Amino acid sequence: MDKVLGCLRAAAEATRLRLLALCAASDMNVSDLTSILGQSQPRVSRHLKLLCNAGLLDRFHEGSKVFYRLADGSSEEGRIAEKIIDLFPVDDTQAAQDRELLDTLKLKRAEEAKAYFRANADEWDKLRSLHVDENVVERALLKYFPEHVDDLLDIGTGTGRMLQLFSGRVDRGVGVDTSQDMLAVARANLGTLGIRNCHVRFGDMYRLPMRDTVFDGVIIHQVLHYADDPARVIFEAARVLRSDGILIVVDFAPHNLEALRNEHAHRRLGFADNEISNWFKRAGLVTKAATELEGNPLTVSMWSAVRSKNHDSNEFLRMKKEQYSDV
């Protein structure tokens, strides 16, 4: 009862209702919100603080910026926030104006994303030409996942493509990345497509900003070859998986293209099946099927594993202690 009353008190103000509606539609920073609401930064910040304190909004850092979004529906406050949004009058004049300004903002984000890719198009095309067509990879990847996944995590989300691909199969999708440029692109892509059940946030693949056992599925798509410590990335993925949750790793099979290391910052020139399987085992995962998709000259491999119900093994606990011994 106290939580419900606290949430309703926090939301019971016109500006705060507008803020909730905007943050439900997109990840927003203070600058975005002040431009849409036409109010001062201190005033908007005060309202945001009240909503965050009540648990209706989540606040997270991304470099020098702070973003806000509607609280996750896994919490009681998040479910209350969603109910409040459902009651929001869609035909309200002020709400319609806010949506128009938000649409303009999304178009600006989309144009910035296009400009980024125009500037880097040659490099992206060069890399894509080395391996099997991405449509083939995506069709194979879809077969690994069940028809429905409650909560999906995409580690190293990049453009947010994996979230786009699986948005129709998940209740909630989260993408993490350490590149602010890529997060901006992913956010623009999701906004342009009107995908509301997926979002992105800043996050380190070695120390994911999530609690243990909160996802039914985790994807590491063409990311592991950038890692100094791939085993640690897999361990973190295993940590956030629920029992029987599925992890999919998509990367290159072993190759000798040193140019990818020298020109594109690849730390590893592909991975062998037994190497990945060993990391899975040490992280408390049970290795399942693997797939190879031959390209010229790069072969894309797809490895899958599920979290063992007996994940609290001595080996897993030992690794967990080592993993966080420097915290």
Nearest-angstrom CA–CA distance, 291 and 301: 6
Low-confidence ranges of the chain (pLDDT < 50): 313-314, 317, 321, 324-327
Half-sphere exposure of 96 (CA within 13 A, CB side): 4
What burial class does residue 45 get, using C-beta atoms within 10 Å of its C-beta: 0-12 exposed, 13-18 middle, 19+ buried? middle
What single letter denotes the amino acid at residue 202?
Answer: F
Set out the domains of the chain in order of their start, with CATH numbers. 2-88 (1.10.10.10), 122-323 (3.40.50.150)
Q: What confidence tens digit (pLDDT) does each residue in 134-148 have?
A: 888 899 999 888 889
What pLDDT does residue 314 have?
46
What burial class does residue 18 get, using C-beta atoms within 10 Å of its C-beta: 0-12 exposed, 13-18 middle, 19+ buried? buried
What pLDDT does residue 229 have?
87
Nearest-angstrom CA–CA distance, 280 and 37: 49
Contact in structure between 54 and 70 (CB atoms under 8 Å): no
